[in-house]
């Protein structure tokens, strides 16, 4: 079986497939990528039984033929071929080898030894009646900012789709990104399964549904993601109860200021903690915010002031709050607007950071308690 594909596209899709699913050492077949030649196409698949990912490329020629290959080896050998002058790669699949040739180079990859195991049967996705929802990769990346990493708290490692919003929280901070003002999917999905779609500028179509079970029985809930360049992922919906995040958001703010995002990022330095102090505004509501960056040992302290516009100041001033620098930086970068709005009520209560003038991008952070 022979076919011809764009070498750079093949290298790019193989790299994505290799990274989209964690490697498995205990089950060899789950560490393989299935390479399948179709008439007019080439398909790559991987799974760990929790997430099923595939990528499809256009090809000239082809017929039904499949081989299991080590994904890391495939990616490594495709890199030099993707840079060849002709820009195409000829593939030959046999029962034992995958041969990839260009004008300057030929690579012969042996089929991966999986102990005779069969590659997992691909699930059938049964979509719900609702239409596909469109989001951008950048929106998804901003929503994943506060995703948890503790596997003992599976609900916090999930991204919650909730009435047109994507929500993540790790108990220290919470991020909420609005993607649809008229509703949307309701489900909790592993953040690790979504992260491969969060890079770049691709449009992503998301669809809720279920996986087909035994026979005609409809099984577990699932989400299907499809990017504009034919990357597809089917991931199971999590059963873990997501925190009731709506109750955590303050209804109003005693102090609210607006400032430029680039000013804050430039001022916060590279310390462990950042202390923000809001001074008294002038008669026109203009003022400054002192930004003090401190390392954990307290050996280095850098202070810089940035200009702010006061939107509200019902509380006492000056107002001081201390935040983890990485949390503040990641949240600030996770907002599309160049102007930020900071809302606060108390030095020991959550601080809210949004894009100035709208709440499509919303991040909430727990402060670090300061000594009395």
State mean pLDDT over 338-365: 89
Write the CA distances from 152 to 168, 181, 184, 190, 361, integer angstroms: 16, 33, 29, 13, 28
- pLDDT per position as a tens digit, 112-142: 999 989 999 999 999 987 778 889 998 999 9
- The domains found in the chain, sorted by start residue, are 2-110 (3.10.150.10), 125-240 (3.10.150.10), 249-365 (3.10.150.10)
Closest residue by Cα to residue 228 from 89, 55, 35, 38: 55
Over 80: is that where the pLDDT of 146 sits?
A: yes
Residues 6+ apart with CB under 8 A from 215: none
pLDDT tier, 216 (very low <50, low <70, confident <90, very high otherwise):
very low
**Residue 357: how many other CB atoms lie within 10 Å:** 10
- pLDDT per position as a tens digit, 242-279: 888 888 888 889 999 999 999 999 998 888 999 999 99
pLDDT tier, 371 (very low <50, low <70, confident <90, very high otherwise):
low
Over 60: is that where the pLDDT of 217 sits?
A: no
Distance between CA atoms of residues 77 and 69, nearest Å: 12
Angle at 298 between CA 268 and CA 327, to 5 degrees: 40
DSSP string of 96-154, one letter each residue: SEEEEE-SS-EEEEEPP--TTPPPPPPPPEEE-SSPPEEEEHHHHHHHGGG----TTSG
Cis peptide bond upstream of 158, omega within 30: no
Q: What is the pLDDT of residue 64?
A: 83
More confident residue, 337 or 275: 275
Closest residue by Cα to residue 335 from 359, 312, 311: 359
More confident residue, 175 or 229: 175
SS3 category, 165: strand
Sign of CA dihedral 144, 146, 152, 158: negative
Over 50: is that where the pLDDT of 215 sits?
A: no
Q: What is the pLDDT of residue 74?
A: 95
């Amino acid at each position: 079986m022979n076919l011809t594909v764009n070498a750079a596209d093949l290298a790019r899709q193989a790299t994505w497939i290799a990274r989209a699913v964690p490697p498995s050492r205990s089950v060899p077949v789950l560490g393989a990528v299935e390479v399948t030649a179709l008439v007019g196409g080439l398909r790559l698949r991987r799974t760990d039984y929790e997430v099923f990912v595939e990528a499809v490329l256009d090809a000239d020629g082809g017929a039904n033929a499949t081989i299991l290959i080590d994904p890391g080896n495939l990616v490594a050998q495709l890199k030099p071929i993707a840079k060849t002058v002709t820009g195409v790669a000829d593939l030959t699949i046999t029962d034992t080898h995958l041969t990839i040739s260009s004008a300057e180079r030929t690579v012969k990859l042996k089929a991966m030894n999986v102990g005779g195991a069969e590659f997992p049967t691909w699930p059938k996705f049964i979509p719900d009646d609702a239409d596909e929802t469109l989001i951008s990769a950048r929106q998804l990346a901003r929503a994943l900012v506060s995703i948890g990493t503790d596997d003992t708290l599976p609900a916090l490692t999930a991204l919650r789709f909730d009435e047109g919003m994507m929500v993540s929280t790790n108990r220290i901070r919470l991020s909420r990104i609005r993607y649809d003002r008229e509703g949307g999917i309701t489900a909790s999905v592993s953040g690790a399964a979504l992260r491969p779609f969060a890079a770049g500028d691709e449009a992503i179509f998301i669809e809720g549904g279920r996986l087909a079970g035994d026979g005609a029985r409809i099984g577990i809930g699932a989400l299907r993601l499809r990017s504009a360049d034919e990357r597809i992922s089917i991931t199971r919906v999590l059963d873990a109860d997501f925190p009731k995040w709506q109750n955590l958001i303050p209804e109003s703010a005693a102090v609210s200021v607006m400032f430029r995002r680039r000013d804050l990022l430039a001022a916060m330095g590279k310390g462990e903690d950042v202390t923000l102090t809001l001074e008294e505004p002038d008669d026109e509501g203009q003022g400054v915010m002192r930004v003090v960056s401190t390392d954990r040992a307290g050996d280095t302290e850098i202070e810089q002031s940035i200009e702010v516009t006061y939107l509200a100041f019902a509380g006492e001033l000056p107002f001081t709050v201390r935040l983890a620098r990485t949390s503040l930086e990641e949240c600030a970068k996770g907002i599309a607007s160049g102007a930020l709005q900071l809302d606060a009520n108390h030095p020991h209560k959550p601080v809210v950071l949004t894009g100035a003038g709208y709440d499509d991008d919303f991040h909430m952070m727990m402060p670090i308690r300061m000594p009395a």
